[in-house]
């Protein structure tokens, strides 16, 4: 029983006939078509390359970093980056107010951003998907209650609530992950609910029911794989959202605490020097922007690949 | 339509009450408030004294109801830190945040709608791509960083505008740009898709075939219809901006509601924190309600649900 409704398989005969890459060749392997589609989408391609580079930089930070990101050296404070006339190759991106190597801190900072983005998105993904699938599948009163929960969550000002809670519990990397995971599930729930509603009455669900499958089997083994492609898009969006929020919390002093090299914290620490050494805030800020931009490009690209007709 | 409005109003009010319960519970359950207020150097006796003085020894349900019954009369108690009632503090700060939000929304609309229209008319040209790029970059830029960059460029290097404070209208320009930039991408994209949809519809073809000028078709016929959902979105965005203004206000030292919330949070001044969270949530709920009504007037199918 092959019952996958995912776009990559169900729409393949059409795209094989109409796609330009298939004009001369009668048989194009599935993976080749996916690859061509991937390479053909400029945003998705560029976004994945940038994201890949940042992920590799984060993983190999201990080997790539020229210095220890935590070692202070007062005699080497505020050295400008290499493109500045006073820059040195010793510290390619310069040093901060405590003489710590900026490039090394940036590389280790990528670990913090990516960890928080991924784990927060996964926690909120589990919460939101569970709520959304239950609401979409059962409908009726369940749907009414869950929709009400979603509406209430949307009315809570995320940043304010996160700040207030972080002030009470104390900011730390783990706290930020838990807080964001508990706050950012709304979009998962909305998307899971509407995609489940569309599939609820599909034939493959009905036939699973007829065959006597349990509800949990239907939801987890039949339904979930088919809404996964829509959820992956939401994961990327929420990852970007969580990374920006972590940076904001850390910037305001209630997120990741010093001496950890969170990019938001680096901007906050550089704030006092930004008038005469603007690069201290420019470097972490631009890096943060590039990471979020790359994740958003991947998300937008995946959405386009899922629904080519909805490209506008 | 009236039934729809009435039903939505009921939902809005009950959501507001639920939000008040949640914000109250979150703050009371995530730590011991009395210890937090007393500070790290206080003795156990002092903590107990504070617990009794602020009524924190009573059952939480009772605390909530006494708080709610005064809150509906706009009495949020006294601030622990500022020597003032919470309501006085808020009524002093709220106009500044509302000014900031309205200006930011004005700037966002002023940029987003023309850009969206242009992107739709010139679909798939460089203008369309540029508009898309502005939107994509806007969504990726951390707001605090953009705000700092604006200060470095326009206040420090060019000396065009002041860097912080709120004494003149000039002080509001940079913060409003920083805040408005975040509402812009979504509004621009919605204007663009709305325009594309409308421009492809039958009545526009009729208008064109009647020989009306292109300007008249685009602005008098198409834009008027494409812009209504954008107005609804703008209402929701304003709600988001009120919540997000805490960052912008702290960077520009604007003494608005966000700054008040920030001061209150860092000083464990919970009556103020609770009141601000509730007020911002109520604004958001009211604005989404307006957006829902606008959308329902536009699309009768929405009224059924």
Q: Which of A294-303, B33-42, B47-56, B215-224 has the highest mean pLDDT?
A: A294-303
B159–A contact, CB cutoff 8 A: no
A289–B contact, CB cutoff 8 A: yes
Using an 8 Å CB-CB cutoff, list chain A residues near B149. Answer: 281-282, 285
Per-residue CA distances from A190 to A149, A234, B295 (Å): 11, 10, 18
The residues, any chain, with a CB within 8 Å of residue B14's CB and separated by 6 or more, are: A148
Rounded Cα–Cα distance for residues B284 and B282 (Å)? 5
Share of chain A above pLDDT 90, in %: 39
Mean pLDDT of A14-26: 44
**How distant is the alpha carbon of residue B178 from its chain centre?**
13
Higher pLDDT, A117 or B215: A117
Which residues 259-288 of B are in CB contact (within 8 Å) with A? 261-262, 265-266, 268, 273, 276-277, 280-281, 284-285, 288
> What pLDDT is stored for residue A292 in this prediction?
94
A160–B contact, CB cutoff 8 A: yes
B196–A contact, CB cutoff 8 A: yes
A158 to chain B: closest CA residue = B243
Contact assignment for B262 to A167 by CB distance below 8 Å: no
Mean pLDDT of B258-279: 86
Rounded Cα–Cα distance for residues B282 and A82 (Å)? 50
Please check the confidence at residue A257 and state whether its pLDDT lies above 70.
yes
Q: How confident is the model at residue A123 (pLDDT cuts 50, 70, 90)?
A: very high
> What pLDDT is stored for residue A23 in this prediction?
47
Selected for mutation to probe chain B from A41, A163, A164 (highest B CB count within 10 Å) is A164
Selected for mutation to probe chain B from A135, A151, A155, A255 (highest B CB count within 10 Å) is A155
Alpha-carbon gap: B32 to the closest alpha carbon of chain A (Å): 9
> What pLDDT is stored for residue B122 in this prediction?
85
Nearest Cβ partner for B281 among A155, A159, A275: A155
B138–A contact, CB cutoff 8 A: no
Per CATH, the number for A37-306 is 1.10.3720.10
Alpha-carbon gap: A77 to the closest alpha carbon of chain B (Å): 21
Q: What Rg, from alpha-carbon coordinates, does chain A have?
A: 23
Contact assignment for A285 to B30 by CB distance below 8 Å: no
User: Looking up tokens 């959501």, which residue turns up?
Assistant: B15
Rounded Cα–Cα distance for residues B156 and B166 (Å)? 17
Tell me the ipTM for this assembly.
0.85
Per-residue CA distances from A288 to A55, A177, B17, B139 (Å): 13, 18, 37, 12
Q: Which of A41-50, A241-250, B286-295 has the highest mean pLDDT?
A: A241-250
B257–A contact, CB cutoff 8 A: no
Contact assignment for B285 to A155 by CB distance below 8 Å: yes
Contact assignment for A248 to B262 by CB distance below 8 Å: no
Using an 8 Å CB-CB cutoff, list chain B residues near A285. Answer: 142, 145, 148-149
Q: Express each pLDDT in A71-111 by its tens digit.
A: 888 888 888 887 887 777 788 888 888 878 889 999 999 99
> What pLDDT is stored for residue A87 in this prediction?
75
> What pLDDT is stored for residue B24 in this prediction?
83
The residues, any chain, with a CB within 8 Å of residue B298's CB and separated by 6 or more, are: B228, B229, B232
Alpha-carbon gap: A155 to the closest alpha carbon of chain B (Å): 5
A275–B contact, CB cutoff 8 A: yes
Q: What is the model's pTM?
A: 0.85
Contact assignment for B265 to A164 by CB distance below 8 Å: yes
Question: Quick one: B93-270 is in which CATH superfamily?
Answer: MetI-like (1.10.3720.10)
A248 to chain B: closest CA residue = B144
B35–A contact, CB cutoff 8 A: no
B236–A contact, CB cutoff 8 A: no
Contact assignment for A275 to B142 by CB distance below 8 Å: no
Q: Express each pLDDT in B115-137 by its tens digit.
A: 998 888 888 888 888 888 888 88
Which residues 115-154 of A are in CB contact (within 8 Å) with B? 148, 151-152, 154
Q: Where are the domains of chain A?
A: 37-306
Q: Count contacts between A and B (CB, < 8 Å).
A: 133
Contact assignment for B143 to A168 by CB distance below 8 Å: no
């Amino acid at each position: 029983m092959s019952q996958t409704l995912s776009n990559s398989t169900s729409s393949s005969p059409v795209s094989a006939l109409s796609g330009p890459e298939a004009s001369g060749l009668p048989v194009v392997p599935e993976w080749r078509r996916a690859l061509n589609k991937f390479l053909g989408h400029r945003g998705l391609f560029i976004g994945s390359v940038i994201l890949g580079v940042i992920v590799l930089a984060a993983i190999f930070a201990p080997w790539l970093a020229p210095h220890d990101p935590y070692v202070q050296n007062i005699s080497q404070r505020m050295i400008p980056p290499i493109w500045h006339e006073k820059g040195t190759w010793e510290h390619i991106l310069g040093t901060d107010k405590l003489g710590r190597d900026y490039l090394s801190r940036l590389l280790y900072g990528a670990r913090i951003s990516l960890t928080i983005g991924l784990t927060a998105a996964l926690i909120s993904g589990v919460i939101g998907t569970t709520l959304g699938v239950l609401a979409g599948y059962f409908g009726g009163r369940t749907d009414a209650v869950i929709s009400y929960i979603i509406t209430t969550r949307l009315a809570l000002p995320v940043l304010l609530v996160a700040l207030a809670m972080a002030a009470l519990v104390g900011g730390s990397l783990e706290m930020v992950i838990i807080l964001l995971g508990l706050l950012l599930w709304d979009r998962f729930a909305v998307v899971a609910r509407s995609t489940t509603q569309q599939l609820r009455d599909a034939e493959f669900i009905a036939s699973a029911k007829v065959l006597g499958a349990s509800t949990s089997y239907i939801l987890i083994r039949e339904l979930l794989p088919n809404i996964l492609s829509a959820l992956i898009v939401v994961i990327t969006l929420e990852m970007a959202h969580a990374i920006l929020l972590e940076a904001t919390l850390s910037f305001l002093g209630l997120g990741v605490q010093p001496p950890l090299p969170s990019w938001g914290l680096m901007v906050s620490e550089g704030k006092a020097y930004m008038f005469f050494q603007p690069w201290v805030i420019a470097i972490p800020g631009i890096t943060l922007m590039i990471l979020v931009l790359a994740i958003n490009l991947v998300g937008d690209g995946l959405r386009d690949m899922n629904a080519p007709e909805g490209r506008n | 339509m009236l039934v729809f409005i009435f039903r939505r109003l009921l939902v809005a009010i009950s959501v507001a009450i639920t939000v008040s319960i949640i914000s109250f519970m979150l703050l009371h359950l995530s730590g011991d408030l009395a210890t937090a207020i007393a500070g790290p150097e206080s003795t156990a006796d002092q903590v107990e004294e504070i617990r009794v003085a602020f009524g924190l020894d009573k059952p939480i349900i009772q605390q909530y109801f006494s708080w709610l019954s005064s809150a509906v009369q706009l009495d949020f108690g006294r601030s622990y830190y500022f020597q003032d009632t919470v309501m006085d503090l808020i009524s002093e700060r709220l106009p500044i945040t509302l000014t900031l939000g309205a200006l930011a929304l004005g700037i966002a609309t002023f940029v987003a709608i023309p850009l969206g229209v242009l992107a739709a008319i010139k679909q798939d040209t460089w203008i369309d791509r540029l508009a898309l790029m502005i939107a994509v970059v806007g969504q990726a830029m951390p707001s605090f960083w953009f705000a700092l960059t604006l200060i470095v460029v326009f206040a420090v290097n060019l000396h065009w505008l002041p860097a912080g404070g709120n004494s003149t209208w000039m002080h509001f320009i940079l913060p409003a740009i920083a805040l408005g930039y975040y509402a812009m991408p979504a509004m621009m994209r919605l204007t663009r898709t709305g325009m594309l949809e409308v421009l492809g519809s039958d009545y526009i073809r009729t208008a064109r075939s009647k020989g009306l000028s292109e300007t008249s078709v685009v602005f008098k016929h198409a834009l008027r219809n494409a812009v209504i959902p954008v107005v609804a979105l703008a209402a929701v965005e304003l709600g988001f901006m009120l919540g997000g203004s805490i960052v912008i206000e702290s960077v520009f030292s604007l003494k608005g509601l966000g700054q008040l919330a920030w001061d209150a949070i860092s000083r464990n001044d919970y009556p103020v924190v609770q009141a601000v969270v509730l007020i911002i949530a109520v604004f958001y709920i009211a604005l989404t309600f307006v957006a829902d009504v606008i959308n329902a007037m536009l699309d009768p199918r929405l009224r059924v649900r």
